[in-house]
Amino acid sequence: MNKVYTSAVVIIPPLEKWTSIQEIRKIYDRNIHRWMPHITLLYPFKPQSDFSKLESLFSRTCKEINAFEISFRKFNYFYHGKQKYTLWLDPEPRNMITFLQNKLLEIVPDCNDVNLQKNGFTPHLSVGQIIGKSNLESIMKILQDNWSLLTFKVYSIYLIARENQKLSEFKIKKEIYLK
């Protein structure tokens, strides 16, 4: 089974929690029309044609993991070189997200691309791309000063996919519940 960039496994905040995230993404995130607000667990992932087969395997694993609460208190960033940054919300606690991701990787160990990043798997919710360190610092300060704690319970993970076309959007294809 190969991997594709048209599918992923993610945590998605409940729709009623999107407003403050989307207000920021409208200004700073060039990917707002492709991706819903999410925390990536596995990407790239298996083709959508494999989802039914994987759903039962993932369900078995997820039924052993209790639903858990996460909060977004602060912003953080990744540095990509050449004054390019990705701005993101930092979920707390990270350990439950990492545990969940590790359990899913046991089923599809070749879908570990996000673990191969410089600092390994870092749970995060991207809100934008910023150019320039001073620009990043001032934007982060403004956002942090105006941010209100956002908390929600993670009850499920989602298998999402999009068409292999330039402007296609990711859509939820499967929802798999935690215990």
157: number of Cβ within 10 Å: 26
Q: Does 1 reside within a domain?
A: no
Question: CA-CA distances (angstroms) from residue 160 to 17, 101, 131, 141?
Answer: 19, 15, 29, 33
The total of structural domains in the chain comes to: 1
Could you read off the pLDDT of 143-157 as tens digits, one per residue? 999 999 999 999 999
Flag whether 150 is in a domain: yes
Q: Which residues of the chain have pLDDT under 50?
A: none
Q: Would 2 be classed as within a structural domain?
A: no
Q: What is the pLDDT of residues 100-137, one digit of tens each?
A: 999 999 999 999 999 998 888 999 999 999 999 999 99
CATH code of residue 171: 3.90.1140.10
In angstroms, the CA 89 to CA 144 distance is: 10
Domain that holds residue 169: 7-177
The whole-number pLDDT of residue 117 equals 85
35 in a structural domain: yes
pTM, two decimal places? 0.95
In sequence order, the 6+-apart residues with CB closer than 8 A to the CB of 16 are none
